[in-house]
Amino acid sequence: VRYGNVMGSNGSVIPFFIKKREEGFLPITSPDMTRFNISLDGGIDMVFHALETACGGELFVPKIPSYKITDVATAIAPNTEQRVVGIRPGEKIHEEMITESDSFNTYDLGKYYTILPTVLNRRLKEFLDKSNAKKVPSGFSYNSGTNSDWVGVEEIRSFIIGHLDSNFSTEKY
């Protein structure tokens, strides 16, 4: 499986921003930065889907919303300075889960995409038929900057309250 940022995980910016807001500013690497967002439950559901349906060798990618890093900062601390600190070496502005070169082996399964291995076996061909899979166009890519599904400030706050901290508040920030 390949998925975006798991909300609240060690790699997620959300717990980092919640801690940093005490310092009076939130460090923003780039105001243009975007990421995919998935809840822990969504990630687990996708893993179970892959375990139940995989034939072998394929990679599952969920269709999930994106968010702007500045919207996350605003959701967590609406009255706190967002200070642009620059991009770290190797960091990307947008998260890319399916590259253009992946498109040659990528199919749309409805709720997920699947990237197949280069050589198809009979089981994979049957899987595609059974899943009503549709080939994505050549040159297709799936990245957080061009995604059509977005969450905004209020949805991010709802995610935090529903998935991370039921007592979350922005009252003093």
Residues 93 and 29: their CA atoms lie apart, in Å, by: 9
What's the rounded mean pLDDT across residues 10-34?
93
- Structure confidence by residue, pLDDT tens digits, 109-132: 999 999 998 877 778 888 888 888
Residues 13 and 73: their CA atoms lie apart, in Å, by: 9
What was the pLDDT predicted at 31? 97
Q: Which helix (H) or strand (E) holds 45?
A: helix 40-53
Tokens representing residue 135 in the block: 């080939």
Tokens representing residue 134 in the block: 């549709």
What was the pLDDT predicted at 136? 97
Q: Is residue 67 pLDDT above 80, yes or no?
A: yes
What was the pLDDT predicted at 152? 96
What was the pLDDT predicted at 121? 75
Residues 119 and 57: their CA atoms lie apart, in Å, by: 9
- Structure confidence by residue, pLDDT tens digits, 132-141: 899 999 999 9
